[in-house]
């Protein structure tokens, strides 16, 4: 009987656990260790952050799902990974009791999502800083409360400044911040308060609509349309000001310090700000049999797990080398360790990085969205099942092959809500397969705004919660 251990129960880890339970659960031991006993449907935290969805509508308990799927659940925080042969285990700390837990494994899936590195930008974040975040449920709730308090001030006639975007020169996840800014705009409009707020989009993207993926390009009526123009039109339409090519370096009470591509330094005042922090890998200790630190064999300096990608290529070369992106998410030094979701180390950025004259790199990190994370979780699970049953992996999917569909909601009303529907194939341009200058399939890639997007977003919330609960037909729903 093989022991498979999954660290983390988010989009990647939970998807992996469901497929592992389904494929192997009856004959082998599948265990998930997660520091939260609920699954969180992260995309809907945007709505929590404006007070349009109750937090409890975005979560459900994991254990009953795992009981049905023949998966053991351990409610603990993983701390140490001991990867050396014959004695491979993870040490964790049980939530609530602090008791040390040892979990042996034959195969390990590392999928604990990002460490939200607020300390990477002095003054950033809701705990020790002055800005807000929607990257965890407690943060989204705190953001909601601060936002609603701000609305009360506006109701009394006060004019306010709202800044939303990225809080570090190397931040990712611009899509979530974009969705949030549009939801704030729409909510203020409904409350009759829009004229009381000056709203600014502040981001490290090279251009508007870049989203850390080099933008989205589509062909409509024979003309190539770019997300840059599209998002500009959205912001112009909504009266949202924007400033891109900007890396936030420090935040103080009411003011954000930044540098831009030109190397200029400036400050922007705010009354309310939601800025996405830099993401790092979770700070696990990787310990060899002799007690030595073996982390350099498993993770890069940012803490992301090294897998079967080609690392170290300069951007111009990487952007022409689709096969540099990992296919099976397997660590080359410890081949029974896999990484899924945000935890794996990408070989480099997707968007063109930029370093200004002060040597500040302003470069969005590649996003590993929910769909990408789920696909990787499934690929990893199927390969582990392959290895256990036949000894040979048969699944692979690079980000240069993956499709991503994102619905960026603009208000949640089914009547007058709106959303931008974004489809791109592939997520990371493949300039060998698609010979246009964007490296994308311009026929499949899609950008569209309308009420239908709001219906889709609403439908996705319930469809995905259905899937993640492993209810009837869950495997038919794509990741």
Partner 1 sequence: MQNEQEFSKAEKFWMNFKLYQFWRFIVLNIKIYTIAVQSKWH
The yes or no reply on residue 35 touching ligand FAD (CB under 6 A) is yes
CB of 479 to partner 1, least distance (A): 7
Helices and strands (DSSP H and E) totals, the chain: 10, 26
The yes or no reply on residue 450 touching partner 1 (CB under 8 A) is yes
Cβ closest to partner 1, residue 122 vs residue 478: 478
Of 6, 46, 154, 363, which one interacts with ligand FAD (CB under 6 A)?
46
Of 67, 127, 158, 416, which one interacts with partner 1 (CB under 8 A)?
416
Rounded to 5 degrees, what angle do the CA atoms 364, 408, 177 make?
Answer: 40
The yes or no reply on residue 34 touching ligand FAD (CB under 6 A) is yes
Closest of 461, 479, 468, 358 to residue 414, by C-alpha: 461
Closest of 102, 87, 105, 93 to residue 6, by C-alpha: 105
Show contacts with ligand FAD in window 249-288 (CB under 6 A): 282
Q: Phi and psi of 42, rounded to 5°? A: -55, -45
Cβ closest to ligand FAD, residue 24 vs residue 111: 111
The yes or no reply on residue 294 touching ligand FAD (CB under 6 A) is no
| C-alpha distances in Å from residue 40, one per residue of 152, 285, 344 | 29, 26, 20
State the virtual CA torsion across 289, 292, 297, 301 in degrees, nearest 10. 150
Contact by Cβ (8 Å): 48, 141:
yes
What does 46 interact with, of partner 1, ligand FAD, none (CB < 5 to 8 A by kind)? Answer: ligand FAD
Strand 89-94 and strand 72-82: the pairing is: antiparallel
The yes or no reply on residue 341 touching ligand FAD (CB under 6 A) is yes
Instruction: Please state, as a whole number, how many other Cβ atoms lie within 10 Å of the Cβ of residue 292.
Output: 10
Distance CA 384, CA 386 (A): 5
Cβ closest to partner 1, residue 22 vs residue 29: 22
- Interhelix angle for 174-190 vs 227-238, to 10°? 20
Give the ranges where 191-273 is alpha helix by DSSP (H): 227-238
| Contact region with partner 1 (CB under 8 A), list: 78-86, 173-181, 211-219, 371-379 | 371-379
Cβ closest to ligand FAD, residue 25 vs residue 367: 367
The yes or no reply on residue 331 touching ligand FAD (CB under 6 A) is no
| Contact region with partner 1 (CB under 8 A), list: 95-103, 133-141, 193-201, 453-461 | 453-461
Contact by Cβ (8 Å): 71, 30:
yes
| Contact region with ligand FAD (CB under 6 A), list: 3-11, 19-27, 50-58, 390-398 | 3-11
H/E run at residue 175: helix 174-190
CB of 272 to ligand FAD, least distance (A): 16
The yes or no reply on residue 379 touching partner 1 (CB under 8 A) is yes
Structure tokens at 203: 């981001």
Distance CA 38, CA 62 (A): 5
| Contact region with partner 1 (CB under 8 A), list: 58-66, 71-79, 318-326, 397-405 | 397-405
What does 403 interact with, of partner 1, ligand FAD, none (CB < 5 to 8 A by kind)? Answer: partner 1
| Contact region with ligand FAD (CB under 6 A), list: 111-119, 290-298, 325-333, 469-477 | 111-119
Show contacts with partner 1 in window 226-255 (CB under 8 A): 229-230, 232-233, 236-237
For residue 34, the number of C-alpha atoms closer than 13 Å in the C-beta half-sphere is 25
- Which residues are at the interface with ligand FAD (CB under 6 A)? 7-13, 33-36, 42-43, 45-46, 77-78, 111-113, 134-135, 173, 176, 282, 341-343, 368-371, 373, 406
- Interface positions with partner 1 (CB under 8 A): 225, 229-230, 232-233, 236-237, 371, 375, 378-379, 395-397, 401-403, 405, 416, 418, 421, 423, 425, 444, 446, 448-453, 455-456, 478-479
């Amino acid at each position: 009987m093989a022991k498979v251990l999954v660290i983390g129960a988010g989009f990647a880890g939970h998807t992996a656990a469901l497929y592992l339970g389904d494929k192997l659960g009856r004959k082998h031991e599948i265990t998930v260790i997660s520091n939260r006993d609920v699954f969180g449907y992260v995309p809907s935290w945007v709505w929590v952050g404006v007070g349009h969805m109750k937090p409890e509508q975005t979560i459900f308990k994991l254990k009953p799902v795992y009981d049905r799927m023949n998966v053991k659940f351990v409610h603990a925080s993983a701390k140490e990974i001991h990867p050396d042969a014959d004695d491979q285990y993870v040490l964790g700390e049980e939530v609530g009791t602090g008791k040390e837990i040892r979990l042996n494994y034959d195969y390990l899936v590392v999928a604990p999502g990002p460490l939200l590195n607020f300390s990477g930008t002095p003054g950033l974040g809701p705990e020790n800083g002055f800005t807000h975040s929607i990257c965890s449920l407690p943060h989204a709730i705190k953001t909601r409360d601060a936002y609603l308090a701000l609305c009360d001030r506006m109701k009394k006639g006060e004019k306010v400044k709202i800044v939303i975007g990225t809080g570090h020169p190397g931040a990712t996840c611009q899509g979530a911040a974009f969705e949030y800014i549009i939801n704030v705009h729409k909510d203020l409009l409904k409350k009759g308060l829009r004229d009381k707020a000056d709203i600014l989009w502040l981001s490290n993207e090279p251009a508007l609509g870049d989203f850390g993926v080099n933008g989205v390009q589509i062909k409509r009526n024979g003309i190539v349309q770019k997300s840059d123009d599209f998002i500009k039109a959205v912001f112009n339409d909504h009266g949202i000001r924007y400033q891109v090519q900007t890396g936030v370096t420090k935040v103080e009470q009411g003011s954000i310090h930044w540098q831009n591509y030109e190397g200029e330094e400036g400050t922007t005042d705010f009354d309310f700000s939601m800025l996405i922090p830099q993401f790092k890998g979770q700070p696990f200790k990787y310990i060899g049999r002799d007690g030595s630190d073996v982390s350099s064999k498993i993770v890069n300096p940012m803490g992301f797990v090294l897998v079967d990608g080609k690392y170290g290529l300069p951007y111009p070369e990487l952007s022409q080398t689709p096969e540099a992106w990992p296919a099976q998410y397997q660590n080359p030094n410890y081949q029974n360790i896999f990484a899924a979701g945000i935890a794996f180390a990408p070989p480099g950025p997707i968007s063109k990085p930029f370093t200004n004259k002060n040597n500040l790199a302003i470069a969005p990190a590649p996003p590993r969205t929910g769909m990408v994370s789920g696909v990787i979780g499934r690929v990893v699970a199927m390969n582990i099942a392959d290895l256990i049953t036949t000894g040979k992996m048969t699944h692979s999917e690079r980000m240069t092959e993956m499709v991503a569909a994102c619905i960026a909601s603009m208000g949640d009303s089914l009547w007058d809500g709106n959303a931008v529907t974004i489809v791109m194939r592939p997520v990371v341009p493949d300039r060998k397969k698609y010979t246009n200058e964007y490296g994308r399939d311009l026929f499949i890639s899609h950008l569209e705004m309308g009420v239908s997007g709001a219906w889709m977003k609403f439908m996705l919330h319930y469809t995905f919660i259905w899937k993640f609960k492993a209810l009837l037909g869950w495997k038919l729903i794509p990741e």
